[in-house]
Amino acid sequence: MHWPNPCRQWARPTCLLVLSLLSWPGQGAAQDTGFVRPIANDVHFHLTNYIQQGTDIHDFLRIMGNQVGRVALFGIPLQQQWSHRSDGERAPTYYLHSDAPLYYYSFTDAWIAMSYRSLTKEEQTRFDPMITGFNPTDMYAVDHIRRVLQTFPGVFSGIGEFSIHKEFVSAKIAGEVASLQDPALDRILDFAGEVGLVVLIHSDMDVPFAKEGSEPAYLDQMKTVLKKHPQTTIIWAHTGIGRVVRPIRNHAANIAEILRDPAFSHVNFDISWNELAKYIVASPEATKITAELIKQYPDRFLFGTDEVAPATQEAYLGTYRMYAPLWALLDTQTGEKVRLRNYERIFDRARQKVRAWEAANPGTSSF
């Protein structure tokens, strides 16, 4: 099994299918009155961008409307440096806009926590904030996570999205290159398991522009890490795919091998990001392969947008709409699990466990 690369525009029948899906009740713009069942929860959302600017959380609530129920909320743990020597007065806003390095920006966690706390109690129930502002090469990273939990009790439910191997990004980060074989990562995953924190990790399965038919460069390392932490709930972002780390031969089969192995029963996959969606809907064959895999393991996949500080609901739901051909191939129960119920099951459990840990390990914060 493989997911073919996108190489042509959708055929007219597929385009008509997309339009018909978007016209279903509850799939359009948010309604002003009456209850509308959410179309999805979002396991992967960045409130801020690579220069720590973003959407005000109150504005984002309006963007969610009644279309999206709950959101895993985080910033971006990396700050793009503005180097005048490199870029002059042209201020970069994205990691591909400059040759200057990225660096870890720990204040993002306090920013997310205070944004969350600015909401009413009812509004807070729609968010599951995540800790991201740590360096995964640092053996002290666990201490940062612990301090954040004790400084802002009642706020966070997980850690991530944080990255290990990420195309173009990893080589730009100042300091040591992150590695799946680093004991610092093991400490982080052990602590997350102890506390009950959900882990959302980005690590590309392969290197960019890999040779067709070659073994994925980081798959075995990732499987080794996952096996060592069976008590930790882990979500592998984008199924290990990147912008140019494409799903080549046997990608779906590699995922299926993990999902059917009881040693990986704690591992889940998100299908966030429009870059992944473009591969999945590239052809009817690719969409069918993905749908069959999800139907075989319906409890192990979660939908996410991977949107960064969107300004409108239309922009925010773009990835959801891209997946219209996939939603059409999933039965009602499987579709609801991927879009809604798997999120609720995982994060409801995390909330309970993390709150219990915080109660047993109080900090000294006056916040």
Q: Say if pTM beats, i.e. exceeds, 0.75.
A: yes
What local confidence, expressed as pLDDT, does residue 302 receive? 98
What local confidence, expressed as pLDDT, does residue 59 receive? 98
What local confidence, expressed as pLDDT, does residue 247 receive? 85
Dihedral (CA of 55, 56, 57, 61) sign: negative
Q: Phi, psi at residue 87, to the nearest 5°?
A: -120, -5
What local confidence, expressed as pLDDT, does residue 37 receive? 84
- Mean pLDDT for each consecutive 10-residue tract of the chain (367 residues)? 44 38 38 68 95 94 98 94 88 79 93 98 98 98 98 98 90 90 98 98 92 88 98 98 85 97 98 96 96 98 97 97 98 98 98 98 74
- 45-360: CATH topology is TIM Barrel (3.20.20)
What local confidence, expressed as pLDDT, does residue 211 receive? 79
CA distances from 150 to 138, 144, 192, 355 (A): 20, 10, 14, 11
What local confidence, expressed as pLDDT, does residue 365 receive? 60
- According to DSSP, residue 204 is labeled -
Residue 118 near residue 58 (C-beta atoms within 8 A): yes
